Amino acid sequence: MFVETEQIVQTLTEENYLKAIFKLTQASLQKISPTAIAQEIEVNAASVIDMFKKLKEKELISYDKRKGAALTPQGIRVALNIVRKHRLWEVFLFEKLKYSWDEVHEMAEQLEHIQNDALANRLDEFLGFPVFDPHGDPIPKANGSIPKFSKVLLSAKKIGDECQVVAIKDTSPEFLQYLNQLSIDIGSRIVIKDKVAFDNSLVILIKGHQTTVSEKFAHSVFVKQ
Amino acid sequence: MFVETEQIVQTLTEENYLKAIFKLTQASLQKISPTAIAQEIEVNAASVIDMFKKLKEKELISYDKRKGAALTPQGIRVALNIVRKHRLWEVFLFEKLKYSWDEVHEMAEQLEHIQNDALANRLDEFLGFPVFDPHGDPIPKANGSIPKFSKVLLSAKKIGDECQVVAIKDTSPEFLQYLNQLSIDIGSRIVIKDKVAFDNSLVILIKGHQTTVSEKFAHSVFVKQ
DNA sequence: AATAATAATTAGATTAGTCTAATTTTAAAT
DNA sequence: ATTTAAAATTAGACTAATCTAATTATTATT
Protein backbone atom coordinates (compact mmCIF):
# COMPACT_ATOMS: atom_id res chain seq x y z
CA MET A 1 0.00 0.00 0.00
CA PHE A 2 1.32 3.42 -0.97
CA VAL A 3 1.26 5.96 1.83
CA GLU A 4 1.10 9.59 0.79
CA THR A 5 3.89 11.55 2.47
CA GLU A 6 1.86 14.51 3.57
CA GLN A 7 3.95 17.44 2.35
CA ILE A 8 1.26 20.05 1.66
CA VAL A 9 3.00 23.34 1.02
CA GLN A 10 1.49 26.21 2.94
CA THR A 11 0.89 29.61 1.43
CA LEU A 12 2.78 32.56 2.83
CA THR A 13 -0.42 33.79 4.45
CA GLU A 14 -1.17 30.48 6.09
CA GLU A 15 2.37 30.38 7.42
CA ASN A 16 1.93 33.81 8.96
CA TYR A 17 -1.22 32.73 10.75
CA LEU A 18 0.44 29.58 12.07
CA LYS A 19 3.36 31.66 13.28
CA ALA A 20 1.04 34.09 15.04
CA ILE A 21 -0.85 31.28 16.76
CA PHE A 22 2.46 29.75 17.80
CA LYS A 23 3.71 33.06 19.16
CA LEU A 24 0.61 33.75 21.23
CA THR A 25 0.59 30.17 22.49
CA GLN A 26 4.17 30.58 23.73
CA ALA A 27 3.62 34.03 25.15
CA SER A 28 0.52 33.60 27.22
CA LEU A 29 -1.87 31.30 28.95
CA GLN A 30 -4.86 33.07 27.43
CA LYS A 31 -6.91 31.39 24.76
CA ILE A 32 -6.06 32.09 21.15
CA SER A 33 -9.20 33.86 19.97
CA PRO A 34 -9.89 35.28 16.53
CA THR A 35 -9.63 38.80 17.97
CA ALA A 36 -6.26 38.08 19.56
CA ILE A 37 -4.84 36.90 16.22
CA ALA A 38 -6.54 39.77 14.41
CA GLN A 39 -4.70 42.17 16.69
CA GLU A 40 -1.40 40.32 16.35
CA ILE A 41 -1.26 40.34 12.56
CA GLU A 42 -3.28 43.52 12.08
CA VAL A 43 -6.14 42.04 10.18
CA ASN A 44 -9.91 41.93 10.56
CA ALA A 45 -11.39 39.29 12.86
CA ALA A 46 -13.64 38.14 10.03
CA SER A 47 -10.55 37.27 7.99
CA VAL A 48 -9.12 35.31 10.90
CA ILE A 49 -12.24 33.20 11.19
CA ASP A 50 -12.07 32.40 7.47
CA MET A 51 -8.45 31.36 7.83
CA PHE A 52 -9.17 29.32 10.97
CA LYS A 53 -11.65 27.31 8.90
CA LYS A 54 -9.08 26.72 6.23
CA LEU A 55 -6.35 25.70 8.67
CA LYS A 56 -8.75 23.44 10.54
CA GLU A 57 -9.69 21.81 7.24
CA LYS A 58 -6.00 21.16 6.62
CA GLU A 59 -5.65 19.76 10.14
CA LEU A 60 -3.02 22.32 11.09
CA ILE A 61 -5.06 23.74 13.97
CA SER A 62 -8.04 22.88 16.10
CA TYR A 63 -10.56 25.58 16.79
CA ASP A 64 -13.53 25.79 19.05
CA LYS A 65 -15.30 28.97 20.02
CA ARG A 66 -14.84 28.39 23.74
CA LYS A 67 -11.38 26.79 23.77
CA GLY A 68 -9.88 29.01 21.08
CA ALA A 69 -7.36 27.84 18.50
CA ALA A 70 -4.46 25.45 19.06
CA LEU A 71 -1.87 24.03 16.72
CA THR A 72 -2.04 20.33 15.92
CA PRO A 73 1.23 18.35 16.03
CA GLN A 74 1.41 18.93 12.28
CA GLY A 75 0.80 22.65 12.79
CA ILE A 76 3.48 22.82 15.46
CA ARG A 77 5.98 21.25 13.08
CA VAL A 78 5.23 23.83 10.43
CA ALA A 79 5.32 26.77 12.86
CA LEU A 80 8.58 25.62 14.45
CA ASN A 81 10.18 25.34 11.06
CA ILE A 82 9.19 28.90 10.19
CA VAL A 83 10.49 30.23 13.50
CA ARG A 84 13.68 28.23 13.02
CA LYS A 85 14.23 29.66 9.55
CA HIS A 86 13.36 33.17 10.74
CA ARG A 87 15.93 33.11 13.51
CA LEU A 88 18.63 31.44 11.44
CA TRP A 89 18.22 34.06 8.73
CA GLU A 90 18.45 36.75 11.40
CA VAL A 91 21.80 35.34 12.49
CA PHE A 92 22.93 35.29 8.87
CA LEU A 93 21.93 38.90 8.28
CA PHE A 94 23.48 40.06 11.55
CA GLU A 95 26.67 38.01 11.57
CA LYS A 96 27.48 37.70 7.90
CA LEU A 97 25.90 40.69 6.21
CA LYS A 98 26.54 43.00 9.17
CA TYR A 99 23.02 44.35 9.43
CA SER A 100 22.15 45.92 12.76
CA TRP A 101 19.75 44.06 15.03
CA ASP A 102 16.95 46.52 14.39
CA GLU A 103 17.09 45.81 10.63
CA VAL A 104 17.12 42.02 10.59
CA HIS A 105 13.57 41.27 11.68
CA GLU A 106 11.77 42.76 8.70
CA MET A 107 13.96 40.94 6.21
CA ALA A 108 13.73 37.68 8.13
CA GLU A 109 9.95 37.98 7.86
CA GLN A 110 10.39 37.57 4.15
CA LEU A 111 13.22 35.03 4.21
CA GLU A 112 11.42 32.67 6.58
CA HIS A 113 9.04 31.72 3.77
CA ILE A 114 11.69 30.48 1.35
CA GLN A 115 10.75 26.90 0.56
CA ASN A 116 13.40 24.21 0.41
CA ASP A 117 13.59 21.04 2.44
CA ALA A 118 17.28 21.23 3.20
CA LEU A 119 17.53 24.99 3.66
CA ALA A 120 17.22 25.34 7.43
CA ASN A 121 19.79 22.63 8.05
CA ARG A 122 22.24 23.95 5.46
CA LEU A 123 21.97 27.43 6.91
CA ASP A 124 22.31 26.07 10.44
CA GLU A 125 25.52 24.27 9.56
CA PHE A 126 26.92 27.25 7.63
CA LEU A 127 26.32 29.49 10.63
CA GLY A 128 27.95 27.05 13.02
CA PHE A 129 24.76 25.84 14.73
CA PRO A 130 23.90 29.05 16.59
CA VAL A 131 21.71 28.64 19.68
CA PHE A 132 20.29 32.17 19.91
CA ASP A 133 19.31 34.82 17.39
CA PRO A 134 20.57 38.42 17.59
CA HIS A 135 17.73 39.34 19.98
CA GLY A 136 18.60 36.49 22.32
CA ASP A 137 15.71 34.27 21.29
CA PRO A 138 16.42 30.54 21.16
CA ILE A 139 16.59 28.93 17.70
CA PRO A 140 14.47 25.76 17.47
CA LYS A 141 16.66 22.78 16.56
CA ALA A 142 16.11 20.47 13.60
CA ASN A 143 14.33 17.97 15.84
CA GLY A 144 11.90 20.66 17.02
CA SER A 145 13.34 21.15 20.50
CA ILE A 146 13.82 24.68 21.73
CA PRO A 147 16.94 25.46 23.77
CA LYS A 148 15.76 26.33 27.26
CA PHE A 149 17.35 29.04 29.31
CA SER A 150 16.15 30.75 32.43
CA LYS A 151 15.37 34.40 32.06
CA VAL A 152 13.35 36.97 33.98
CA LEU A 153 12.14 40.42 33.11
CA LEU A 154 14.36 43.27 34.19
CA SER A 155 11.36 44.55 36.12
CA ALA A 156 11.63 41.58 38.49
CA LYS A 157 15.07 42.65 39.72
CA LYS A 158 15.61 44.58 42.95
CA ILE A 159 17.66 47.61 43.90
CA GLY A 160 21.33 46.67 44.13
CA ASP A 161 21.01 43.67 41.80
CA GLU A 162 23.49 43.30 38.99
CA CYS A 163 22.24 41.38 35.99
CA GLN A 164 23.08 40.45 32.43
CA VAL A 165 20.83 41.02 29.42
CA VAL A 166 20.02 37.71 27.71
CA ALA A 167 17.10 38.55 25.42
CA ILE A 168 14.87 41.34 24.19
CA LYS A 169 11.12 40.90 24.43
CA ASP A 170 10.06 43.79 22.23
CA THR A 171 12.01 43.54 18.98
CA SER A 172 10.51 46.56 17.25
CA PRO A 173 13.05 48.75 15.44
CA GLU A 174 12.06 51.64 17.73
CA PHE A 175 12.97 49.78 20.89
CA LEU A 176 16.12 48.23 19.43
CA GLN A 177 17.31 51.64 18.28
CA TYR A 178 16.70 52.98 21.77
CA LEU A 179 18.80 50.14 23.17
CA ASN A 180 21.56 51.00 20.69
CA GLN A 181 21.42 54.55 21.93
CA LEU A 182 21.84 53.31 25.51
CA SER A 183 24.66 50.94 24.37
CA ILE A 184 22.70 47.95 25.58
CA ASP A 185 23.36 44.62 23.82
CA ILE A 186 22.80 40.96 24.49
CA GLY A 187 25.36 40.27 27.24
CA SER A 188 25.40 43.80 28.66
CA ARG A 189 25.59 44.10 32.43
CA ILE A 190 23.09 46.32 34.17
CA VAL A 191 23.07 47.44 37.81
CA ILE A 192 19.79 48.53 39.38
CA LYS A 193 20.63 51.66 41.32
CA ASP A 194 17.14 52.76 42.29
CA LYS A 195 13.46 52.24 41.68
CA VAL A 196 10.99 55.13 41.54
CA ALA A 197 7.97 54.09 43.60
CA PHE A 198 5.69 56.53 41.81
CA ASP A 199 5.86 54.96 38.32
CA ASN A 200 8.27 52.01 38.72
CA SER A 201 10.94 53.72 36.66
CA LEU A 202 14.41 52.25 37.17
CA VAL A 203 17.65 54.09 37.64
CA ILE A 204 20.25 51.83 36.07
CA LEU A 205 23.97 51.79 35.53
CA ILE A 206 25.14 50.59 32.15
CA LYS A 207 28.84 50.65 31.22
CA GLY A 208 29.54 53.20 33.93
CA HIS A 209 26.82 55.49 32.66
CA GLN A 210 23.70 56.12 34.75
CA THR A 211 20.27 56.57 33.23
CA THR A 212 16.60 56.23 34.05
CA VAL A 213 14.29 53.90 32.15
CA SER A 214 10.54 53.42 32.27
CA GLU A 215 8.55 50.50 33.61
CA LYS A 216 7.64 49.66 30.01
CA PHE A 217 11.35 49.41 29.29
CA ALA A 218 11.88 47.09 32.27
CA HIS A 219 9.10 44.88 30.93
CA SER A 220 10.78 44.59 27.53
CA VAL A 221 14.20 43.29 28.54
CA PHE A 222 15.06 39.80 29.79
CA VAL A 223 17.99 39.21 32.10
CA LYS A 224 19.71 36.05 33.31
CA GLN A 225 18.11 33.94 36.08
CA MET B 1 9.40 72.05 -3.83
CA PHE B 2 9.28 68.47 -2.59
CA VAL B 3 10.12 65.84 -5.17
CA GLU B 4 8.70 62.38 -4.58
CA THR B 5 11.47 59.78 -4.76
CA GLU B 6 9.68 57.26 -6.91
CA GLN B 7 10.21 54.02 -5.02
CA ILE B 8 7.06 52.11 -5.91
CA VAL B 9 7.49 48.56 -4.68
CA GLN B 10 6.57 45.97 -7.27
CA THR B 11 4.59 42.87 -6.48
CA LEU B 12 6.28 39.52 -6.89
CA THR B 13 4.17 38.90 -9.97
CA GLU B 14 5.07 42.20 -11.58
CA GLU B 15 8.73 41.46 -10.93
CA ASN B 16 8.42 38.13 -12.68
CA TYR B 17 6.91 39.75 -15.75
CA LEU B 18 9.64 42.37 -15.86
CA LYS B 19 12.26 39.66 -15.54
CA ALA B 20 10.70 37.68 -18.37
CA ILE B 21 10.59 40.73 -20.63
CA PHE B 22 14.21 41.46 -19.77
CA LYS B 23 15.24 37.89 -20.48
CA LEU B 24 13.56 37.75 -23.88
CA THR B 25 14.95 41.17 -24.77
CA GLN B 26 18.48 39.94 -24.03
CA ALA B 27 18.00 36.62 -25.74
CA SER B 28 16.55 37.58 -29.05
CA LEU B 29 15.94 40.24 -31.60
CA GLN B 30 12.31 39.23 -31.94
CA LYS B 31 9.57 41.42 -30.59
CA ILE B 32 8.30 40.77 -27.09
CA SER B 33 4.71 39.76 -27.78
CA PRO B 34 2.08 38.73 -25.26
CA THR B 35 2.29 35.16 -26.56
CA ALA B 36 6.06 35.06 -26.17
CA ILE B 37 5.79 36.11 -22.53
CA ALA B 38 2.85 33.78 -22.00
CA GLN B 39 5.04 30.91 -23.14
CA GLU B 40 8.03 32.04 -21.08
CA ILE B 41 6.21 32.23 -17.76
CA GLU B 42 3.62 29.56 -18.55
CA VAL B 43 0.58 31.71 -18.28
CA ASN B 44 -2.35 32.58 -20.50
CA ALA B 45 -1.88 35.34 -23.09
CA ALA B 46 -4.96 37.11 -21.74
CA SER B 47 -3.23 37.43 -18.37
CA VAL B 48 -0.14 38.87 -20.02
CA ILE B 49 -2.16 41.56 -21.73
CA ASP B 50 -3.75 42.53 -18.43
CA MET B 51 -0.32 42.77 -16.84
CA PHE B 52 1.11 44.73 -19.77
CA LYS B 53 -1.59 47.32 -19.16
CA LYS B 54 -0.67 47.53 -15.51
CA LEU B 55 3.06 47.79 -16.14
CA LYS B 56 2.48 50.40 -18.85
CA GLU B 57 0.38 52.37 -16.39
CA LYS B 58 3.28 52.26 -13.93
CA GLU B 59 5.66 53.36 -16.70
CA LEU B 60 7.78 50.26 -16.33
CA ILE B 61 7.24 49.13 -19.92
CA SER B 62 6.02 50.46 -23.24
CA TYR B 63 3.68 48.31 -25.26
CA ASP B 64 2.32 48.58 -28.74
CA LYS B 65 0.67 45.81 -30.65
CA ARG B 66 3.07 46.06 -33.58
CA LYS B 67 6.30 46.89 -31.74
CA GLY B 68 5.74 44.59 -28.80
CA ALA B 69 6.76 45.34 -25.22
CA ALA B 70 9.96 47.02 -24.10
CA LEU B 71 11.26 48.01 -20.69
CA THR B 72 11.49 51.71 -19.89
CA PRO B 73 14.69 52.92 -18.20
CA GLN B 74 12.80 52.56 -14.92
CA GLY B 75 11.77 49.01 -15.87
CA ILE B 76 15.34 48.13 -16.82
CA ARG B 77 16.54 49.28 -13.41
CA VAL B 78 14.02 47.07 -11.67
CA ALA B 79 14.73 44.06 -13.88
CA LEU B 80 18.49 44.38 -13.53
CA ASN B 81 18.17 44.50 -9.77
CA ILE B 82 16.15 41.30 -9.75
CA VAL B 83 18.63 39.53 -12.01
CA ARG B 84 21.47 40.83 -9.85
CA LYS B 85 19.87 39.51 -6.68
CA HIS B 86 18.99 36.20 -8.35
CA ARG B 87 22.56 35.56 -9.43
CA LEU B 88 24.11 36.73 -6.18
CA TRP B 89 21.84 34.42 -4.22
CA GLU B 90 22.82 31.58 -6.56
CA VAL B 91 26.46 32.20 -5.70
CA PHE B 92 25.58 32.21 -2.01
CA LEU B 93 23.69 28.93 -2.23
CA PHE B 94 26.39 27.28 -4.32
CA GLU B 95 29.51 28.60 -2.61
CA LYS B 96 28.38 28.95 0.98
CA LEU B 97 25.56 26.47 1.46
CA LYS B 98 27.10 23.91 -0.90
CA TYR B 99 24.02 23.32 -2.98
CA SER B 100 24.65 21.78 -6.39
CA TRP B 101 24.18 23.97 -9.44
CA ASP B 102 20.99 22.20 -10.45
CA GLU B 103 19.36 23.09 -7.11
CA VAL B 104 20.17 26.78 -6.85
CA HIS B 105 17.93 28.20 -9.54
CA GLU B 106 14.59 27.32 -7.99
CA MET B 107 15.55 28.76 -4.63
CA ALA B 108 17.02 31.88 -6.19
CA GLU B 109 13.67 32.42 -7.93
CA GLN B 110 12.24 32.93 -4.46
CA LEU B 111 15.17 34.80 -2.93
CA GLU B 112 15.38 37.36 -5.74
CA HIS B 113 12.16 38.95 -4.48
CA ILE B 114 13.41 39.73 -0.98
CA GLN B 115 12.99 43.48 -0.57
CA ASN B 116 15.70 45.54 1.08
CA ASP B 117 17.56 48.47 -0.39
CA ALA B 118 20.99 47.45 0.82
CA LEU B 119 20.64 43.71 0.33
CA ALA B 120 22.22 43.21 -3.10
CA ASN B 121 25.26 45.27 -2.15
CA ARG B 122 25.68 43.60 1.23
CA LEU B 123 25.47 40.20 -0.34
CA ASP B 124 27.83 41.22 -3.13
CA GLU B 125 30.44 42.35 -0.65
CA PHE B 126 30.01 39.27 1.55
CA LEU B 127 30.54 37.02 -1.47
CA GLY B 128 33.65 38.94 -2.55
CA PHE B 129 32.10 40.69 -5.57
CA PRO B 130 31.65 37.64 -7.78
CA VAL B 131 31.48 38.32 -11.54
CA PHE B 132 29.65 35.16 -12.66
CA ASP B 133 26.99 32.93 -11.15
CA PRO B 134 27.37 29.14 -10.89
CA HIS B 135 26.02 28.71 -14.43
CA GLY B 136 28.56 31.17 -15.83
CA ASP B 137 26.08 34.02 -16.30
CA PRO B 138 27.41 37.50 -15.59
CA ILE B 139 26.15 39.26 -12.45
CA PRO B 140 24.93 42.80 -13.13
CA LYS B 141 26.92 45.29 -11.05
CA ALA B 142 25.47 47.83 -8.65
CA ASN B 143 25.63 50.52 -11.34
CA GLY B 144 23.64 48.34 -13.75
CA SER B 145 26.50 47.36 -16.03
CA ILE B 146 26.79 43.74 -17.06
CA PRO B 147 30.26 42.20 -17.27
CA LYS B 148 30.87 41.40 -20.92
CA PHE B 149 32.66 38.29 -22.03
CA SER B 150 32.88 36.69 -25.42
CA LYS B 151 31.24 33.33 -25.72
CA VAL B 152 29.97 31.16 -28.54
CA LEU B 153 27.77 28.10 -28.61
CA LEU B 154 29.57 24.79 -28.58
CA SER B 155 27.74 24.06 -31.84
CA ALA B 156 29.81 26.77 -33.56
CA LYS B 157 33.06 24.93 -32.95
CA LYS B 158 34.74 22.74 -35.59
CA ILE B 159 36.30 19.29 -35.54
CA GLY B 160 39.68 19.41 -33.82
CA ASP B 161 38.88 22.52 -31.78
CA GLU B 162 39.61 22.50 -28.08
CA CYS B 163 37.47 24.83 -26.02
CA GLN B 164 36.56 25.75 -22.47
CA VAL B 165 33.04 25.86 -21.08
CA VAL B 166 32.21 29.37 -19.80
CA ALA B 167 28.42 29.30 -19.39
CA ILE B 168 25.34 27.14 -19.62
CA LYS B 169 22.41 28.38 -21.70
CA ASP B 170 19.80 25.90 -20.51
CA THR B 171 19.83 25.93 -16.72
CA SER B 172 17.05 23.42 -16.16
CA PRO B 173 17.79 20.84 -13.45
CA GLU B 174 17.51 18.11 -16.09
CA PHE B 175 20.26 19.52 -18.24
CA LEU B 176 22.47 20.44 -15.30
CA GLN B 177 22.16 16.94 -13.91
CA TYR B 178 23.13 15.56 -17.30
CA LEU B 179 26.20 17.79 -17.26
CA ASN B 180 27.07 16.50 -13.79
CA GLN B 181 26.82 13.00 -15.13
CA LEU B 182 29.25 13.92 -17.91
CA SER B 183 31.53 15.68 -15.37
CA ILE B 184 31.16 18.94 -17.24
CA ASP B 185 31.53 22.15 -15.20
CA ILE B 186 32.21 25.79 -15.83
CA GLY B 187 35.87 25.75 -16.83
CA SER B 188 35.86 22.22 -18.27
CA ARG B 189 37.87 21.67 -21.44
CA ILE B 190 36.18 19.94 -24.35
CA VAL B 191 37.78 18.65 -27.55
CA ILE B 192 35.58 18.20 -30.62
CA LYS B 193 36.60 14.84 -32.07
CA ASP B 194 33.92 14.47 -34.72
CA LYS B 195 30.64 15.80 -36.03
CA VAL B 196 27.90 13.52 -37.35
CA ALA B 197 26.65 15.06 -40.57
CA PHE B 198 23.31 13.27 -40.34
CA ASP B 199 22.01 14.97 -37.15
CA ASN B 200 24.85 17.31 -36.09
CA SER B 201 25.69 15.21 -33.06
CA LEU B 202 29.16 15.85 -31.68
CA VAL B 203 31.72 13.33 -30.56
CA ILE B 204 33.57 15.07 -27.74
CA LEU B 205 36.42 14.35 -25.39
CA ILE B 206 35.95 15.46 -21.80
CA LYS B 207 38.54 14.67 -19.14
CA GLY B 208 39.96 11.87 -21.28
CA HIS B 209 36.55 10.31 -21.70
CA GLN B 210 34.88 10.23 -25.13
CA THR B 211 31.14 10.61 -25.56
CA THR B 212 28.56 11.69 -28.12
CA VAL B 213 26.17 14.55 -27.50
CA SER B 214 23.20 15.82 -29.49
CA GLU B 215 22.84 19.02 -31.48
CA LYS B 216 20.43 20.24 -28.78
CA PHE B 217 23.24 19.75 -26.26
CA ALA B 218 25.68 21.71 -28.42
CA HIS B 219 23.16 24.54 -28.54
CA SER B 220 22.90 24.66 -24.75
CA VAL B 221 26.56 25.13 -23.81
CA PHE B 222 28.66 28.27 -24.25
CA VAL B 223 32.43 28.08 -24.70
CA LYS B 224 35.14 30.73 -24.67
CA GLN B 225 35.68 32.96 -27.70
C1' DA C 1 -7.19 39.74 -53.17
C1' DA C 2 -9.48 36.02 -50.69
C1' DT C 3 -8.83 32.60 -47.37
C1' DA C 4 -6.64 30.34 -43.59
C1' DA C 5 -4.01 30.46 -39.63
C1' DT C 6 -2.24 32.82 -35.82
C1' DA C 7 -2.13 36.49 -32.48
C1' DA C 8 -4.35 40.08 -29.73
C1' DT C 9 -8.06 41.51 -27.25
C1' DT C 10 -12.34 41.63 -24.57
C1' DA C 11 -15.83 39.82 -21.51
C1' DG C 12 -16.98 37.29 -17.86
C1' DA C 13 -15.85 33.83 -14.27
C1' DT C 14 -12.77 32.06 -10.45
C1' DT C 15 -9.73 31.92 -6.30
C1' DA C 16 -7.32 33.66 -2.16
C1' DG C 17 -7.32 36.88 1.01
C1' DT C 18 -9.16 40.72 2.53
C1' DC C 19 -12.79 44.18 3.99
C1' DT C 20 -17.44 46.35 6.07
C1' DA C 21 -21.77 45.90 7.96
C1' DA C 22 -25.02 43.33 10.00
C1' DT C 23 -26.39 39.57 13.21
C1' DT C 24 -25.85 36.18 16.68
C1' DT C 25 -23.37 34.46 20.82
C1' DT C 26 -21.10 34.76 24.90
C1' DA C 27 -19.52 37.00 28.96
C1' DA C 28 -19.75 40.68 32.42
C1' DA C 29 -22.08 43.65 35.42
C1' DT C 30 -25.59 45.36 37.66
C1' DA D 1 -31.94 37.37 35.95
C1' DT D 2 -31.66 41.21 32.93
C1' DT D 3 -29.17 44.30 30.57
C1' DT D 4 -24.95 45.73 28.46
C1' DA D 5 -20.70 45.15 26.32
C1' DA D 6 -17.65 42.49 23.76
C1' DA D 7 -16.59 38.76 20.70
C1' DA D 8 -17.77 35.57 17.02
C1' DT D 9 -19.94 34.77 12.93
C1' DT D 10 -22.19 35.39 8.48
C1' DA D 11 -23.20 37.71 4.20
C1' DG D 12 -21.78 40.22 0.62
C1' DA D 13 -18.34 43.07 -1.73
C1' DC D 14 -13.47 44.11 -3.40
C1' DT D 15 -8.71 43.41 -5.46
C1' DA D 16 -5.00 40.93 -7.82
C1' DA D 17 -4.03 37.51 -10.72
C1' DT D 18 -5.57 34.13 -13.15
C1' DC D 19 -8.56 31.38 -16.44
C1' DT D 20 -11.87 30.11 -20.66
C1' DA D 21 -14.45 31.32 -24.46
C1' DA D 22 -15.58 34.47 -27.72
C1' DT D 23 -14.31 38.10 -30.97
C1' DT D 24 -11.40 41.04 -33.61
C1' DA D 25 -6.89 41.96 -35.98
C1' DT D 26 -2.86 40.55 -38.33
C1' DT D 27 -0.05 37.74 -41.18
C1' DA D 28 0.74 34.23 -44.40
C1' DT D 29 -0.63 31.49 -48.23
C1' DT D 30 -2.61 30.28 -52.01
For residue range B4-38, what is the model confidence (pLDDT) as tens digits? 444 678 999 999 999 999 999 998 778 899 999 99
DSSP-assigned beta bridge partners for residue B164 = B189
Nearest CB to A110 within list B96, B115, B118: B115
Asked if A116 reaches chain B (Cβ–Cβ under 8 Å), the answer is yes
DSSP designation for A32: B
Amino acid at A193: K
What's the predicted TM-score (pTM) here? 0.85
Q: How far is the CA of A63 from the C1' of D9 (A)?
A: 14
Nucleotide nearest to A41 (CA to C1'): C18
Chain A hits for B103, CB-CB cut-off 8 Å, are: 116
Would you tell me which residues 75-104 of chain B have a C-beta closer than 8 angstroms to some C-beta of chain A?
96-99, 103
CA nearest to B136, candidates B167, B105, B108 = B167
Note whether B153 and B161 are within 8 A (CB): no
**pLDDT bracket for residue B199 (50, 70, 90):** very high
For residue range A81-119, what is the model confidence (pLDDT) as tens digits? 999 999 999 999 999 999 999 999 999 999 999 999 999
- Counting DSSP H helices and E strands in chain B, the numbers are 8, 8
Taking one residue from A and the other from B, the number of pairs with CB-CB distance under 8 angstroms is 35
The pLDDT, as a whole number, for residue B4 is 40
As a whole number of angstroms, the distance between CA A35 and CA A24 comes to 12
Asked if A60 reaches chain B (Cβ–Cβ under 8 Å), the answer is no
Q: Per-residue b/e over A98-123, b at no fewer than 16 CB within 10 Å? A: ebebbbbbebbebbbbbebeebbebb
The pLDDT, as a whole number, for residue B167 is 87
Nucleotide nearest to B45 (CA to C1'): C8
For residue range A144-203, what is the model confidence (pLDDT) as tens digits? 999 998 899 999 999 999 999 988 888 888 988 998 999 998 889 999 999 999 999 999
Q: How far is the CA of A50 from the C1' of C3 (A)?
A: 55
The pLDDT, as a whole number, for residue B16 is 98
A12 CB contact with strand D at below 7 Å? no
With CB atoms and an 8 Å threshold, state whether B107 touches A119: yes
Note whether A154 and A190 are within 8 A (CB): yes
Shortest Cα distance from B125 to chain A (angstroms)?
8
DSSP designation for A154: G
